[in-house]
Amino acid sequence: MNCPYCLAPGTRMETHAHLGRDHAEQVRMSRDEAKGRLLFALDCPFCDEGLERVANPRGREPGFLEEFRREITLVAFDLLLYHLHASHAERVGLPPIREEAPAGGTT
């Protein structure tokens, strides 16, 4: 497959690692101090669908956030890869998903 940002070729795993290494800045994070949680968001490079999730550092020390940030970045790109596979497979050189989409989807 190809990286959705710079078209670098690689396997899905290689691309995942590449995204976390070279495109980590694509993942936006913000801290919700009041609730002690972390919000992260990542826009799809091909459509308006944004990914947004809440992560819970589970009482980790603030100093852990940098390390946590790395984990979150990889989680976010995993979600993006899943979305790319489901919606933009041909644009990143992935084989299209064959299984049928759920009928009467909720989105």
Q: For the CA atoms of the chain, what is the radius of gyration?
A: 15
Cα 20 to Cα 12: distance, rounded to the nearest angstrom: 12
Piece of the chain touching Zn ion by CB under 5 A; list 41-49, 54-62, 69-77, 99-107: 41-49
For the record, the structure tokens of 24 come out as 């980590």
Burial call 41-55: b when 16+ CB within 10 Å, e when fewer:
ebeeeeeeeebeeeb
- 76 lines the binding site for Zn ion (CB under 5 A): no
At its nearest, how many Å lie between Zn ion and the CB of residue 23?
A: 5
Residue among 22, 11, 36, 29 at smallest CA distance from 76: 29
Which residues 7-26 are close enough to bind Zn ion by CB under 5 A? 8
Q: Which is nearer to Zn ion, 3 or 38 (CB)?
A: 3
By the rule CB under 5 A, 80 interacts with Zn ion:
no
Q: Does 5 bind Zn ion (CB under 5 A)?
A: yes
Question: Shortest approach of Zn ion to residue 45 CB, angstroms?
Answer: 8
Residues near Zn ion (CB under 5 A) are 3, 5-6, 8, 44, 46-47, 49, 87
